[in-house]
């Protein structure tokens, strides 16, 4: 009886290959985890530029320290720890710098000024609502509702009990709904941003 091997390499496979300098494998790891890394970084820094810097920097740090990743199959959790630490360091370093966030791509798509204003306003309110949450709740709600991670994945990768993750998610959503009471959602939101 032969065991059919999955076509999709696991994180562990990719880590082993990346350790040997396989650029394609490392690229796959980046592709798999870039949005989650950004979401975690954003939940800590609260600013796009800082989140981008921290997330990108974390991949480079992870590559340099790849030999320290003792459980390659749990690469995502290990990476998220690096992202959180790098993000916190960045916040500490740049705590004196106050510049407003400019969403990326706004200039490149040349949208109408009205749409830019509306989207920026919505994003601003969303950021304010998220900023009011504790860091762990921001991470969980972004990973769950933005990245589509399951409770158990979040629990595993953030090293939290599953019940705690569910509880945080519940309270984070409740707080966000309360803060975004006047925010257009559903079709109204789609009409505004698309």
Partner 1 sequence: MRDEVRDEADYAGELDLDDELAQALALLDPALQDPNYWFRFRSWVLTSATAELARRRLMHQLTVGDVMSSWARGVVSTAALAAALAGLLLVRGPGAPAPQPVGVEGLIVSEVEGETMPSLIPPETNGAVAFASEIF
**Distance of closest approach, residue 10 Cβ to partner 1, in angstroms:** 19
Contacts to partner 1 from residues 8-67, by CB under 8 A: 18-23, 26-27, 30-31, 34-35, 38-39, 42, 48, 52, 55-56, 59-60, 63-64
**Other CB atoms within 10 A of residue 41 CB:** 31
Query: Per CB under 8 A, does 170 bind partner 1?
Result: yes
- Burial class for 49, CB neighbours closer than 10 Å (0-12, 13-18, 19+): middle
Contact 66, 17 (CB under 8 A): no
Report which of 77, 80, 78 is spatially closest to residue 67, judged by C-alpha positions.
Answer: 78
Is 162 near partner 1 (CB under 8 A)?
Answer: yes
Closer by beta carbon to partner 1, 84 or else 129: 129
Q: Per rule CB under 8 A, is residue 167 in the interface with partner 1? A: yes
Q: In whole angstroms, give the CA distance from residue 162 to residue 180.
A: 27
CA 55 to CA 39: how far, in whole Å? 9
Virtual torsion, Cα 129, 132, 136, 140, nearest 10 deg: -10
> Does the footprint of partner 1 cover residue 74 (CB under 8 A)?
no
Under the binding rule (CB under 8 A), the answer on residue 175 touching partner 1 is no
Which range of residues in 7-15, 76-84, 92-100, 174-182 is near partner 1 by CB under 8 A?
A: 174-182
Residues forming the site for partner 1 (CB under 8 A): 18-23, 26-27, 30-31, 34-35, 38-39, 42, 48, 52, 55-56, 59-60, 63-64, 103-106, 108-109, 111, 119, 122-123, 126-127, 141-142, 144-146, 148, 151, 162-163, 166-167, 169-171, 173, 176-177, 180, 183, 185-186, 189-190, 193
């Amino acid at each position: 009886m032969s065991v059919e091997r999955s076509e999709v390499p696991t994180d562990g496979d990719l880590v082993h290959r990346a350790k040997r300098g396989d650029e394609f494998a490392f690229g796959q790891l980046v592709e798999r985890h870039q949005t989650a890394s950004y979401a975690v970084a954003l939940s800590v820094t609260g600013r796009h530029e800082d989140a981008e810097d921290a997330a990108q920097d974390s991949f480079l740090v992870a590559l340099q320290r790849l030999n320290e990743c003792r459980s390659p199959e749990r690469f995502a959790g290990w990476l998220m720890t690096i992202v959180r630490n790098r993000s916190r360091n960045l916040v500490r370093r740049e705590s004196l710098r106050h510049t407003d966030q400019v969403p990326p791509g706004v200039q490149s798509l040349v949208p109408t000024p009205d749409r830019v204003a509306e989207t920026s306003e919505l994003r601003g309110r969303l950021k304010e609502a998220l900023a009011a949450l504790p860091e762990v709740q921001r991470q969980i709600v972004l990973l769950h509702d933005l990245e589509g991670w399951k409770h158990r994945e979040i629990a595993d990768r953030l090293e939290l009990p599953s019940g705690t993750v569910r509880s945080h998610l519940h309270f984070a959503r409740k707080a966000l709904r309360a803060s975004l009471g006047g925010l257009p959602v559903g079709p109204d939101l789609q009409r505004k941003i698309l």
